[in-house]
Structure 1
Amino acid sequence: MLTKEDNDRLTQVGAGTPLGQTMRRYWIPALLSWELPEPDCPPVRVKLLGEDLVAFKDTEGRIGLLEELCPHRLASLYFGRNEECGLRCVYHGWKFDVEGQCVGMMNEPAENDFKHKIRTQAYPTIEAGGMIWAYMGPPEQRPPAPNFLWTQMPETHRHVTKVIQECNWLQALEGGIDTSHAPILHRSISPDASQPGIDPNSAWARSGAPQLELDITDYGYRYAGVRTLAEGGYHIRAYHFVLPFHQLRPTTTIEGHDGVAGHIWVPMDDGNTMIYNWQHTLSEEPLTEEDRLERRLGNGPEDVDSKTFRSYDDRHNDYGMDRQVQKYETFTGIRGINKQDRAIQESMGRIVDRTREHLGPADRAIIQARRLLLQAIKTVQEGGVPGGIEPTYYQLRAGQGVIPADMDWRQLIEPELSATGD
């Protein structure tokens, strides 16, 4: 359990809050690249860390991320005209470039020109992995680019989507890094289940509750669920947690090829999270169109509105739960593994009261993540550099498999590690 004070510190992300200041030291996913498809295309609203912003791609292809409200009379720049290397407010014609500098004032005579004195908040952006990332912290402390291995993959071999989850970012993250729940919440009861789930006859499901092993690193930690098999050996799923909100986990494509996937849990505000879902294949074969539909996960176009990024199934229709399917086929009766996650995590309320929890050894990854986040806050408050800033995570991969009893699970991912445990 956490104290109320620490729970507040880990869930409040607005400007000036301890965690808000800490998260602003990292590159933060702001939107998908395809949301700004071409120069001078319509602007897009963005909500990050409690701030209302607007993104646009200017005539030269540069990406701007500005405070949504025009500094003149506080009208929304979302309604603005994207024209000639700037976003022009339609109320009085004040125009701003990607750096937030006012470059035009249609309502002022030439002799009253004072546009050089007017700026609005603008955040630097970079594009990587099919996403646009923003840096919202002090300019002199801008970190290296977020060049995760998956961002370096060709478009044919990677895929990214996003979906809004109506709860605080931390309970979404904690669900993602909790490996003990996966073969329970996501399991199929019947091997012939009509909905996707973890096969009850698989080694993962048969092996029972895991032992958690975790190594602290300079980017966060690497960890594994180690499950003993009756026939000998262990079933292993080895992951990484990269501060402040990244997870890397093993996955398998529709064609059965090994891959790596993960989530980025980006706080929109204290009560809403934008979850970015990414995957890439380790095979020479590209991802298929079926892979990109994400039917098994519930993140694709059949499950999520591509304009609002809200799930078609939510609390208002019980996430599409089918009680007959729950009774005979799957543990939840909800189609889509990540949709199951959203249902359970949203059921906990917007912000969990962690003073009421009763944690055990299976929650070790969650406990350690909280400690690392609190330490990152402390480090920033003391003027230091928090973990996960340096590029030691660039080549990380996750892994899974059945290994003999005398093998260390770290050998599944060791060749790709670029940081050592403490």
Structure 2
Amino acid sequence: MLSHIENEALTRTDRGTPMGEVMRCYWMPALLSSELPEPDCPPIRVRLLGEELVAFRDTQGRVGLLDEFCPHRMASLFLGRNEECGLRCVYHGWKFDVDGNCLDMMNEPPDSDYHTKVGIKAYPTLERGGAVWAYMGEPGSQPPPPPNFEWATVPETHRHISKNWQKCNWLQSLEGGIDTAHAPILHRTITTDTDKAGIGINTDFVTGGAPTLEVDVTDYGYQYVGIRDLGERGDFVRTYQYIMPFHQMRPRQSGYKGQAAKQVIAGHMWVPMDDSNCMIYNWVYSFGPEPITEEEWGEIERGYGRGPDDMLPNFRGKGNRENDWLIDRQVQKYETFTGINGINAQDVAVQESMGAIVDRTRENLTRSDMAIIQARRLLLQAAQTVADGGLPPGVAPTYYNARAIEGVLPKGADWRAEMLELMHPTS
């Protein structure tokens, strides 16, 4: 368990908090590129690390991420006009570019130069992998190297990304994602079809026993494995990567409706909107020659409970606390362990059911929680490192070639000897 002080340090992300300062050392996903589909399109609101922001794509295609509120009289720039390389407040006509410079003030006389003396908070952005990333460090500070994850740099035909809004603290969402022990329980089907949803869960992962966990700390976070005894067949070994502060990658089975198997990895990013809400970015990519088709991606999203029929326009799932996450007790009795449709929807239900912020002083952890314990240690150490003026793990580009794989090995085989080169290819 954690102390109350440690729990507060890990879960609070406003500017000036220990974890808030850690988060501001990294590039962070702020929105999907598709939310700003073309130059001069309507702006959108963004909530990130407790800050109310507005994003827009200017005439040249650049993305700006500004304080939502005009520094004149604090009107919302979400109402603004996106025109001629700037976002103009509709109240008095102050106009700002993607760097936060004030270009024009319609309510000032022609000879006024006051616009040169006023600006608005603006964060640097870049686009990778279908997402707009923001660096929210101190003004003038040097951003880290770009987030060139392999999934974010493969061709568009080989990767897909989506997001969904979860109403709870970012840490309990992250901890659910890196917890390999829960998956064959929470996501269990009672029918004989162990991949009823069709989202690529290896049957050995679902039907194997409780895992033995091993965690290797790296300079970007850690890599960890769940080893499941398959009897005479050997050991099913599933590896994962945790990349500070909120990235996870995992292997997934591939081959859609009879297609040849593909080399596919999937993962999530659990990004704090504020202390009681997070946005989960979900991605999948093929690092082999075969693309991931739109049809295949649609089937994946539906299987996870993130299909078009499952989601609201604001990226919330239709299942929520008010409707008990659409739990169906008959389905729970005869078909699936939860009675909730979709693996992602099941995760959301469990994690939101804990409340906005889990009281970790009441926990009773076991050996299967090793990955969670280690993540907490790394995050607390990172908070101390940043407080002392240093940089946390995962800022340097040492994670660029990290992969997650799985397979059946002979009983007692050394998974590191068999898998590490595949998890960190050199070319």
TM bucket (normalised to shorter chain) is: over 0.9
Letter in 2 for 1:120: I
Letter in 2 for 1:302: D
1:391 equivalent to 2:397? Answer: yes
State the 1:299 CA deviation.
1.9
2:144 aligns with: 143
Contact 1:104–1:115 (Cα < 8 Å) also in 2: yes
1:329 aligns with: 335
State the 1:96 CA deviation.
0.4
Letter in 2 for 1:106: M
2:241 aligns with: 240
How far, CA to CA, are the matches of 2:199 and 2:371 in structure 1? Answer: 22
State the 1:201 CA deviation.
10
Match of 1:341 among 338, 341, 347: 347
Question: How do 1:163-312 residues align onto structure 2 when only pairs under 5 Å count?
Answer: 163-192=164-193, 195-196=196-197, 202-253=203-254, 254=256, 255=259, 256-293=261-298, 294-305=301-312, 307-312=313-318
SS of the equivalent of 1:252 reads: coil
Give the TM-score of the pair, scaled to structure 2. 0.94
State the 1:252 CA deviation.
2.2
Contact 2:194–2:203 (Cα < 8 Å) also in 1: no
The answer to which of 228-237 and 327-336 deviates more is 228-237
Contact 2:135–2:143 (Cα < 8 Å) also in 1: yes
The answer to which of 313-322 and 236-245 deviates more is 313-322
State the 1:402 CA deviation.
1.0
RMSD after superposition: 1.8
Letter in 2 for 1:345: Q
Relative to structure 1, the CA distance from residue 145 to residue 227 in structure 2 (aligned partners, 3 Å threshold; closer, same or farther) is: same
State the 1:191 CA deviation.
1.5
How far, CA to CA, are the matches of 1:225 and 1:145 in structure 2? Answer: 30
Relative to structure 1, the CA distance from residue 276 to residue 100 in structure 2 (aligned partners, 3 Å threshold; closer, same or farther) is: same
1:116 equivalent to 2:116? Answer: yes
2:67 aligns with: 67
State the 1:121 CA deviation.
0.3
Relative to structure 1, the CA distance from residue 193 to residue 151 in structure 2 (aligned partners, 3 Å threshold; closer, same or farther) is: closer
State the 1:413 CA deviation.
4.5
How far, CA to CA, are the matches of 1:376 and 1:161 in structure 2? Answer: 28
How far, CA to CA, are the matches of 1:390 and 1:199 in structure 2? Answer: 32
How far, CA to CA, are the matches of 2:229 and 2:199 in structure 1? Answer: 17
Relative to structure 1, the CA distance from residue 392 to residue 127 in structure 2 (aligned partners, 3 Å threshold; closer, same or farther) is: same
Contact 2:200–2:253 (Cα < 8 Å) also in 1: no
SS of the equivalent of 1:53 reads: strand
How far, CA to CA, are the matches of 1:129 and 1:192 in structure 2? Answer: 34
Letter in 2 for 1:329: E
Contact 2:405–2:423 (Cα < 8 Å) also in 1: no
State the 1:292 CA deviation.
1.8
1:80 equivalent to 2:87? Answer: no
1:404 aligns with: 410
Contact 1:292–1:300 (Cα < 8 Å) also in 2: no
Q: Is there any run of 5+ residues in structure 1 with no aligned partner, and where?
A: none
SS of the equivalent of 2:141 reads: helix
Contact 1:187–1:199 (Cα < 8 Å) also in 2: no
State the 1:172 CA deviation.
0.1
1:361 aligns with: 367
State the 1:231 CA deviation.
1.8
How far, CA to CA, are the matches of 1:282 and 1:162 in structure 2? Answer: 21
How far, CA to CA, are the matches of 1:401 and 1:367 in structure 2? Answer: 25
State the 1:321 CA deviation.
1.5
The answer to which of 32-41 and 365-374 deviates more is 32-41
SS of the equivalent of 2:245 reads: coil
Query: Between Structure 1 and Structure 2, how many residues are aligned?
Result: 418
How far, CA to CA, are the matches of 1:347 and 1:381 in structure 2? Answer: 33
1:134 aligns with: 134
1:92 aligns with: 92
Question: How do 1:13-92 residues align onto structure 2 when only pairs under 5 Å count?
Answer: 13-92=13-92
SS of the equivalent of 1:179 reads: coil
State the 1:137 CA deviation.
0.4
Contact 1:314–1:343 (Cα < 8 Å) also in 2: yes
How far, CA to CA, are the matches of 2:202 and 2:23 in structure 1? Answer: 42
Contact 2:195–2:201 (Cα < 8 Å) also in 1: no
Relative to structure 1, the CA distance from residue 280 to residue 413 in structure 2 (aligned partners, 3 Å threshold; closer, same or farther) is: farther
Match of 1:417 among 397, 421, 424: 424
Q: Is there any run of 5+ residues in structure 2 with no aligned partner, and where?
A: none
